[in-house]
Structure 1
Amino acid sequence: MKYLAFVAVLLLVLGGIEKAKAVTCNPLQLSPCANAITSSSSPTAICCSKIKEQRPCLCSYMRNPNLKKFISSPNARKVANTCGTPFPQC
């Protein structure tokens, strides 16, 4: 009986957890951030949304020689921090 109660509570808790949707890594999704990364302008709300969405991909972007100079730049980190999305430790 205790086991059934535990399972019922567990199902209620797990049912309330939102499942994370899979992220498709596409560096072009960060294009709304290009101006903020290449200059000292503030990131837009769309940029912040895209940085949060693409955060799981940032390490793979930094391993790409063509993207590394942009993604690992001080301005990119500043944009991410301004958006409340700290860079992952890669």
Structure 2
Amino acid sequence: MKKGCFIVAVVCVVVVVLLGEVGVTRAVTCSPLELSPCVAAITSSQPPSSECCSKLREQRPCFCGYLKDPNLKQYVNSPSAKRVASTCGVPTPRC
């Protein structure tokens, strides 16, 4: 019977560890420089690269902070930036 209890305990520990791993998320470092792969798409009519779209999705939690910065607001709020974000499927933030 002790062997059965041990196996149940091990299974419980494994489940707890696995559930803990699912909830772990990577912290985002908010840096507008991370969006440099999008410069060409924003300043021209070329479509955004997959790297640009990936960076937009990654930096999405930072957009409201960028909009509050007077130096960045004009770029984040520009029609070109909105076009690129829309093409990448990244919604415009509501701050």
- TM-score, normalized by the shorter chain, greater than 0.5: yes
**Contact 1:30–1:51 (8 Å) recurs in 2:** yes
- Equivalence for 2:47: 42
What is the alpha-carbon distance in structure 2 between the residues aligned to residue 50 and residue 19 of structure 1? 20
- Equivalence for 2:28: 23
Q: Which runs of 5+ in 1 are unaligned?
A: 1-6
Residue 37 of structure 1, CA deviation = 1.2
In the TM superposition, what are the counterparts of 1:1-90 in structure 2 within 5 Å? Answer: 11=16, 14-15=19-20, 17-90=22-95
Normalised to the residue count of structure 1, the TM-score between the two structures is 0.78
Q: Matched residue pairs, number?
A: 83
Letter in 2 for 1:78: R
Structure 1 moving runs of 4+ over 4 Å: 10-13
